Chain A
Amino acid sequence: MPRVFDVRGLVKSYGSVRAVDGVSFSVERGELYGLLGPNGAGKTTTMSMLSGLLPPDEGRILFDGMDLASKPLEVRAALGIVPQEPALYENLSARENLSFWGGLYGLSGGTLRGAVDRVLDLVGLADRARDPVKTYSGGMKRRVNLALGLVHGPRAVLMDEPTVGIDPQGRLNVLDAVRQVAASGTTVIYTTHYLDEAETLCDRIAIMDHGKILAEGTLDQLKRRVGGRDVITVRGAHDLTPLLPKIDAMPGVTVASAEAGKLVIAVEGSGRGAVELLSAVLATGVPIDGISIQPPSLNTLFLNLTGRELRD
């Protein structure tokens, strides 16, 4: 499959903070590629560089073989953008908003009207298309926001957390529309910090934290990286560090992180290892407030990689 995006060694710093630190990946035509990570991981900065809004300090972005740095207008004309916060003209209707954005990308006449009708149907707003956007609910505005990024029929769409702050029904509508866009052969790069979105939507996922891609692959490939290890989180009101030497000495056990009141441990052996570990922990007599066991998943992978849960 031809590569639509070929990203190499992207770096972007704000002062002394390296928001994006050497990110490289490639996305193939028609692929739905997810960037998964907590807030502040560097996803939005990466998206800003991909959309040509933000010049990277280092690195190179190729889109369909064109260098974004040397042909920014050509690349941007072929891209669709769905920003995190809806960027709409609230006193215009959805149809007028869409007509404006479609016209900006060179559509006109019947082609424009057809494109507007198509995306209004896609996001389920055809019946409210003539109402001013200011009369819409938050979820409806999100759907218009999504439609604006699609109206001109882009070759690739960059969607930056399009479901943040949206009600459950609205979220389902947006996710359904994203699936349809991907099914139509449009390449999608989708950032999220929701595990379930990444797991259910994306063909491939890159896990980001602190400006770096920690792991990348299909859902199955990523789960295999976790291996058969469960992740056990032990919480207690007291310092749990006295447990560390004993736990470290146990076979098949890795301490992912240890901080006051919380201990994250990866255990091999699918169930049996976890039981042995817990028995050993309880035998020490250290007061424990709670224990959770998570089977292998993207979250456990993230825990393994960073020592933190994604929702932290």
Chain B
Amino acid sequence: MRLVAHLVLKDLKRKARSPFPFVAVLLLPVIFAGMIALAFGRGDEVPKVALLVANEDGGLIGNAVASALASPRAARFFDVTAVTETKGRELMEKGSASALLSIPAGFTRDVLDGKPVVLRLVRNPSQGILPEIAEQSAGALVDLLEGARRLLAEPLARLRPLLSGEGDAGPADADIVAIALAATRSVRETSGLIFPPAIALDSELFGGASTKAAGKHGGTTSAIFLLVLPGVAVYELFLVADLGMRDVVTERTLGTLRRQLAGPLTDETLVLAKAVYTGLLATVAIVVLAIVGWAALREPVSVAGFALVSVALVLAVAGTTSVVYGFAKTERAAATLGSALFLAMGFLGGGFFRIESLPRAVRGFAPLTPLYWGTQGYRALLEHGAGCAEVSRHAGVLAGMGVGLLALGMLGLRRTARAATTS
């Protein structure tokens, strides 16, 4: 162990003398957090989308759309101002709003006639991600309207003459009852299809963040941090581990690996020291990430649970990178393989967006990646206030993967070390 500590200390000293690559990787989530903070503010206040609605239609459905955006539920996210099209464009030019939604004249009529209709959304690119939220929300609303239009085709057809003033008298009570019954029947029969998407509005707004999550953390910033920070953090750990394990190949190129192996040192000791060094770098990165996460979310998290997942994750990232560097023939091949593998894991494992957003066929591969278990473990701790028991499965799988991969990687790295003695 004395030799391992001696080797690790040397590597840490070298890293401290040339810290730029390590710091650059560490800064990834910090920069990310900073960008999110700049876009949304600190996060305790919910930034609202300043949405202008120019309702040129004035009909039943046009008004319903405008009302929906001004409803108490939508008011959590939107600050809606009714304007004319001209006034709306004027305000947009001044940069006073995030987006302008135009409901064209004849919108209600065209919907009732079954004609294609267009709701136009003009976004203000200077307001960061807020206009994107407006676009997504409007898109969800359009989907909802389209679903309703198809579902209520029959009652709407009956409503058409009444709304357009055809006929001399107002609607008879019998007509109203018949339309109401038809609408009720249609809605009841298909309510299972209609309402889940309507409920899913929250998750659509924030890339899939659940209503529960949004409710727990109460802010757009927090929701977006929850969505991306765990995945980006775990992805970053792979990059940090890559820096550590790459040192085996770097030392082979320097000739220092060969020189060490000409001393009283076995290849097992040398490879073990590199794995410990890699684990230490990953641990430092986790501490930095924990500080960033705390600063961004200010949420109480189970320290024991966090430690459990983190230790298992350190094993897993060290194991994964040891396999990459143990079996790639050159430094360049290892770097290329590592980058491709980590990126693929980032996407497949739900590191960059929620796993639920992936196609079902692809989703099946996610649990095969350590990045998935790390991300899910951290999300469970952050979003659901999970403790040790709840994340023990994540930690167990990660540790299992880590030990297995490390055992395999050590074999490869020993081969790499031995090859250095003959070159």
Out of A77, A86, A90, A132, which one reaches B263, CB within 8 Å?
A: A77
Q: A91-B14, A91-B17, A100-B6 are in contact. Are A76 and B263 (CB under 8 A)?
A: yes
- Decide if A87 touches B255 in the complex (CB within 8 Å): yes
Q: Give the interface centre of B258, B264, B266 by most chain A CB atoms within 10 Å.
A: B264
Q: Which of A48, A89, A96 contacts B254 (CB 8 A)?
A: A89
Contact A83 B259 (CB under 8 A): yes
Residue of A nearest to B254 (CB): A87
Q: How far is the CA of A88 from the CA of B421 in the complex (A)?
A: 16
In the complex, what residues of A have CB within 8 A of residue B265's CB? 73, 76, 104
Contact between B256 and A76, CB atoms less than 8 A apart: no
Report chain A residues within 8 Å CB of B18.
91
Does B262 lie within 8 Å of A100, measured CB to CB? no
Partner of B6, one of A76, A83, A104: A104
> Does A53 lie within 8 Å of B264, measured CB to CB?
no
Task: Kindly state the separation between the CA atoms of A77 and B264 in the bound complex, as whole angstroms.
Answer: 5
Task: Answer whether residue A106 sits at the interface, using C-beta atoms and an 8 A cutoff.
Answer: yes
A104 surroundings in chain B (CB, below 8 A): 3, 6-7, 260, 263-265
CB <8 Å contact, B255 and A83: yes
Any chain A CB within 8 A of the CB of B216?
no
Question: A83 to B266, alpha carbons, bound, how many Å?
Answer: 19
Q: Which residues of B contact A77 (CB under 8 A)?
A: 263-264
* C-alpha gap A132/B17 in the complex (Å): 10
A-B CB pair tally, cutoff 8 Å: 67
**Of B3, B261, B262, which is in contact with the most chain A CB atoms at under 10 Å from its CB?**
B262
Q: Are the C-beta atoms of B17 and A53 separated by less than 8 Å? A: no
CB contact under 8 A between A53 and B261, given known A87-B256, A88-B254, A88-B256: yes
Q: How far apart sit A54 and B258, CA to CA, in the bound complex (Å)?
A: 11
Of all chain A residues, the one with the shortest Cβ separation from B259 is A87
Main secondary structure of the interface of B (DSSP, over half): helix
B10 at the A interface (CB under 8 A): yes
With beta carbons under 8 angstroms apart, the residue of A48, A53, A83, A92 that contacts B13 is A92
Docked-complex contact A106 and B264, CB < 8 angstroms: yes
Say yes or no: A54 contacts B421, CB within 8 Å: yes
In whole angstroms, how far apart are the Cα atoms of A101 and B265 in the complex?
11
Question: Within the assembled complex, what's the spacing in Å between the Cα atoms of A158 and B266?
Answer: 20
In the complex, A59 has a CB within 8 A of chain B:
no
How many residues of B are counted as interface, with CB atoms below 8 angstroms from the partner's CB atoms?
A: 22
Q: Are A81 and B14 neighbours in the complex by a CB distance under 8 Å? A: no
Most buried by A among B3, B255, B266: B255
- Asked if A96 and B13 make an inter-chain contact with CB atoms under 8 angstroms apart, the answer reads yes
A258-281 at interface with B (beta carbon < 8 Å): none
B263 touches A53 (CB 8 A): no
Chain A neighbourhood of B262, CB < 8 A: 51-53, 76, 79, 81
Partner of A53, one of B10, B256, B421: B421
Question: Is the CB–CB distance between A48 and B421 below 8 Å?
Answer: yes
Q: What's the minimum C-beta distance from B416 to chain A, rounded to whole angstroms?
A: 14
* In the bound complex, CA of A90 to CA of B253 (Å): 13
Question: Contact between A103 and B264 (Cβ–Cβ < 8 Å)?
Answer: no
B155-193 interface (Cβ within 8 A of A): none
Residues on the B chain within 8 Å of A106, using CB: 264
Residues of B within 8 A of A148 (CB): 259
Q: Tell me the complex Cα distance, A79–B13, Å.
A: 26
| Complex interface: chain A residues within 8 A of B264 (CB) | 73-74, 76-77, 104-106
Assess the B13–A87 pair: CB atoms within 8 A. Answer: no
- Give B375-400 interface residues, CB cut-off 8 Å to A: none
The distance in angstroms between the C-alpha atoms of A101 and B6, with both chains bound, is 10
A104 to chain B, nearest CB (A): 5
- A85 interface residue (CB < 8 Å to B): yes
B422 at the A interface (CB under 8 A)? yes
Interface centre among A51, A85, A87, A92 (most CB of B within 10 A): A87
The smallest beta-carbon distance between B256 and chain A, in angstroms, is 5
On chain A, the residues within 8 Å of B421 by CB distance are 48, 53-54
B255 pairs with A85, CB closer than 8 A? yes
**A100-B6, A104-B263 known; A83 and B258 CB under 8 Å?**
yes
Closest to B15 in A: A91
- Is the Cβ of A81 less than 8 Å from the Cβ of B259? yes
Q: Measuring CB to CB, which residues of chain A are less than 8 angstroms from any residue of chain B? A: 48, 51-54, 73-74, 76-77, 79, 81, 83, 85-92, 96, 100-101, 103-106, 132, 148
Closest 4 CB pairs of A and B: A87-B255, A77-B264, A53-B421, A91-B17
Other 17 A-B pairs with CB < 8 A, given A53-B261, A91-B18: A48-B422, A51-B262, A73-B265, A83-B259, A87-B254, A87-B258, A87-B259, A88-B254, A92-B17, A100-B6, A100-B10, A103-B6, A104-B3, A104-B6, A104-B7, A104-B263, A148-B259
What are 28 A-B interface contacts by the 8 Å CB criterion? A52-B262, A53-B261, A53-B262, A53-B421, A53-B422, A54-B421, A73-B264, A74-B264, A76-B265, A77-B263, A79-B262, A81-B259, A81-B262, A81-B263, A83-B258, A83-B259, A86-B255, A88-B254, A88-B256, A89-B254, A91-B14, A92-B10, A92-B17, A101-B263, A103-B6, A104-B7, A104-B260, A105-B264
